[in-house]
Structure 1
Amino acid sequence: MPVLGIETSCDETGLALVEQGRVRAERLASQADMHSLFGGVVPELASREHMRVIEPLYEALMADAGLRASDLSGIAVARGPGLLGSLLVGLGFAKGLALALDLPLVGVNHLHAHLLAAGIERPISFPGLGLLVSGGHTHLYRMESPTRFRLLGRTLDDAAGEAFDKAAKAANLPYPGGKYVDELSRDAKPVPGLFPKPYVDNDNLDFSFSGLKTAFAQLIEKRPHLRLPRLAAGVAEEGGLGVPSAIRDELGAVLASLSHSIAETLRIKTERALDRMPDASCLVMAGGVAANGMLRKTMADMAERRGIDFLVPGRELCTDNASMIAYAGERLFAAGLRHDLMLDAIARGRPVPDDYRRVPENP
């Protein structure tokens, strides 16, 4: 019997069914076009849109799978970190279903679920080193098991995804900017030394990308011809997003240099973590930024050189999705962990507690 996963941590409304580690059905409603008008996510609009679409998505999902509510075995929901209003919509829907159907409920750490998503496609060998790279977080974890994570390094200010998004905004690329940075820089060569590798001259495993974001903004101020006319979502044209040919090569090289700086910074810190974790069976990279082509190649090359297995989810599993929530929830249920209806949402900036209630294997 499948586990229902619910994801509403930011601007994607996702529901999915996972059974024995495999995705049975999935539905996703994106708000990208709406938020592109504002150049970023507007929290109140996001939560209202979640409320509007979540019930129809659930009904469509169950119809896709040919299931009834009574066929579910449990409900897993993203409880944070994320936008509080958005999270509350998902939690409210999950609690209502759990109460009405008398099903077990478990709240999932959204960040841990990103890393576990790699296990949907390939088995994860534990212990592993997890590198999470998303819009709001750049973290390193020791992954002891599917239910035990130890934080080794964290974002001190701006995450890698924040640097990508703000760079895209400075150049007037459409929202969401990270994928357009990747597209424009795909065939370009980085300019050595154009951007620094931030916060690597130390011996810790933390990250700071605020200086890199500032460096990119200053470069654009010096080269205003690289700032495009404001583009709305959906205007991308094949062959370079409609970027004038006169600046396409230069802008591509600048964006490739930014990607190179971020990828090398992440590689340096990840290698440092691997040096301190000799029992690591694999390296797992996940999160929205893990879809970046240069970063994927940099980490794959590094893992191959070190002789360690490298796991990264397919691009569709890197961004926020409900399959990873359902998959993580299934792992938590299997370990006898769950929550009651007092489960609360955890906004970004607060640690997600391991406050699970353990259920005996044979009650």
Structure 2
Amino acid sequence: MKILAIESSCDEFSIGVIENDKILCNVVSSQIENHKQFGGVVPELAARLHLENLNWVLNEVQEKIKLDWNTIDQVAYTANPGLLGSLIIGKMVAETIGTYLDVPIVPLDHIEGHIFASSIDNDFVYPVLALIVSGGHTQIELVKSPNNFEIIGSTIDDAIGESYDKVARVLGFDYPGGPQVDKLAQLGTPTYQLPLSKNDQSYDFSYSGLKTAAINLIHNLNQKQEPIKINDFCASFQEAATKVIAMKLERAIQEYKPQTLTVGGGVSANSRIRTTIMELGKKYQIHKTIIPKFEYCTDNGAMMAQLAYAKFTEK
């Protein structure tokens, strides 16, 4: 079984190819430099750039693995969630390839793909408790099989990645600012007081309040002409942003008793998030505690190919 999968939900156009549970290639065209001047992703620009870059990606895939197109058994693509224009480009490419090759065309869920990024080179033991942290999502999902996903908690407003980037922008960092906040946080001490948003007994999240509090604190310090201890500020923000995740995820582990613990999404590259997952896995003796390779944290075709293969081969 050889599957070609397309991921185009936001500002990356990517194609991954999998054969018999082995990723053969993962080609990604990133647009970060194009969107940096705007301080975030511009949806129409993202879709236009997908159109410009898709030929390069297809050619790169063929060159990397000397792909014989007639050996493709299935074409998968990200159907939702994501930017509408970007999703349409991916769907059109998938339908064109699938129709030409006369093979099945399979729509997939982007979030489920992020979860299965961790199963590349690893085997899930079900049930899986998965934390999804990205620019647009903050969720906890219980996965009972490749075709059985249950959202047990989600953000009610801003996602964690969005709050990182917006606070970073006020601090003067270029987009995407989240990784820069993480880097400086590791050098500082959390001495600034910031709230733990949605600190309750639910599994839901809220980052609007933390984002607003952090930005207001920056403005207040600037108005008073007090210097911001940037490392300590980043450490304080990161502590508030990730501590509530650790608390809620720990309660979910106690309630659902997973056999596998994992994390996915762009913010899964965050140092504190990765440490939290490993610490909880060790504390509760979850032997299958998996964090994805950095190359599979951001949007990529390999994760969608892995998801498609898992769904197709589920017994």
Residues 226 and 323 (structure 1), Cα distance of their counterparts in 2 relative to 1, 3 Å cut: farther
SS at match of 1:153: strand
SS at match of 2:229: helix
Q: CA deviation at 1:225?
A: 8.9
Separation of aligned partners in 1, 2:208 and 2:202: 17
Separation of aligned partners in 2, 1:225 and 1:6: 48
2:91 equivalent in structure 1: 91
Contact 2:277 2:291 in 1 (8 A): no
2:260 equivalent in structure 1: 282
Separation of aligned partners in 2, 1:50 and 1:110: 17
Aligned residues between the structures: 314
Q: What does residue range 191-210 of structure 1 map to in structure 2 within 5 Å?
A: 191=191, 194-200=193-199, 202-210=200-208
2:210 equivalent in structure 1: 212
Separation of aligned partners in 2, 1:163 and 1:316: 22
Contact 2:146 2:314 in 1 (8 A): no
Contact 1:189 1:253 in 2 (8 A): yes
SS at match of 2:23: strand
- The answer to whether structure 1 residue 72 and structure 2 residue 69 are counterparts is no
The worse-fitting range, judged by mean Cα deviation, of 1-10 and 301-310 is 301-310
The worse-fitting range, judged by mean Cα deviation, of 249-258 and 83-92 is 249-258
Residues 84 and 226 (structure 1), Cα distance of their counterparts in 2 relative to 1, 3 Å cut: farther
Residues 115 and 289 (structure 1), Cα distance of their counterparts in 2 relative to 1, 3 Å cut: same
The worse-fitting range, judged by mean Cα deviation, of 249-258 and 24-33 is 249-258
Q: How many percent of aligned residue pairs carry the same amino acid? A: 34
Residues 226 and 188 (structure 1), Cα distance of their counterparts in 2 relative to 1, 3 Å cut: farther
Residues 6 and 185 (structure 1), Cα distance of their counterparts in 2 relative to 1, 3 Å cut: same
Letter in 1 for 2:84: L
Q: Residue deviations 1:195-223, cap 9 Å, x none? A: 121111x2211111110000110111022
Structure 2 length-normalised TM: 0.95
Separation of aligned partners in 2, 1:109 and 1:213: 28
Q: CA deviation at 1:226?
A: 12
1:108 equivalent in structure 2: 108
Q: CA deviation at 1:22?
A: 1.9
Residues 225 and 18 (structure 1), Cα distance of their counterparts in 2 relative to 1, 3 Å cut: farther
Q: 1:256 aligns with which of 230, 235, 255?
A: 235
2:273 equivalent in structure 1: 295
2:308 equivalent in structure 1: 329
Separation of aligned partners in 1, 2:180 and 2:269: 12
Separation of aligned partners in 1, 2:291 and 2:240: 20
Q: CA deviation at 1:287?
A: 0.8
Contact 2:262 2:277 in 1 (8 A): no
SS at match of 1:217: helix
Separation of aligned partners in 1, 2:240 and 2:218: 16
Unpaired stretches in structure 2, ≥5 consecutive residues: none
Unpaired stretches in structure 1, ≥5 consecutive residues: 228-246, 337-363
Q: CA deviation at 1:224?
A: 2.5
- The answer to whether structure 1 residue 317 and structure 2 residue 315 are counterparts is no
Contact 2:164 2:178 in 1 (8 A): yes
Separation of aligned partners in 1, 2:136 and 2:224: 26
- The answer to whether structure 1 residue 221 and structure 2 residue 219 are counterparts is yes
SS at match of 2:60: helix
SS at match of 1:223: helix
What RMSD, in angstroms, separates the aligned Cα atoms of the two structures?
A: 1.9
Letter in 1 for 2:181: V
Q: CA deviation at 1:248?
A: 10
Q: CA deviation at 1:67?
A: 1.4
Q: CA deviation at 1:128?
A: 1.3
Q: CA deviation at 1:249?
A: 8.6
Separation of aligned partners in 2, 1:60 and 1:289: 27
2:177 equivalent in structure 1: 177
SS at match of 1:307: coil
Separation of aligned partners in 2, 1:316 and 1:226: 42
Q: CA deviation at 1:301?
A: 1.4
Residues 32 and 307 (structure 1), Cα distance of their counterparts in 2 relative to 1, 3 Å cut: same
1:238 equivalent in structure 2: none
- The answer to whether structure 1 residue 56 and structure 2 residue 56 are counterparts is yes
Separation of aligned partners in 1, 2:251 and 2:224: 36
Q: CA deviation at 1:148?
A: 1.1
1:167 equivalent in structure 2: 167
Letter in 1 for 2:135: G
SS at match of 1:276: helix
Structure 1 residue ranges, 4+ long, deviating more than 6 angstroms after superposition = none
Separation of aligned partners in 2, 1:222 and 1:147: 49
Separation of aligned partners in 1, 2:121 and 2:184: 28
The worse-fitting range, judged by mean Cα deviation, of 5-14 and 308-317 is 308-317
Letter in 2 for 1:317: Y
Q: CA deviation at 1:183?
A: 1.7
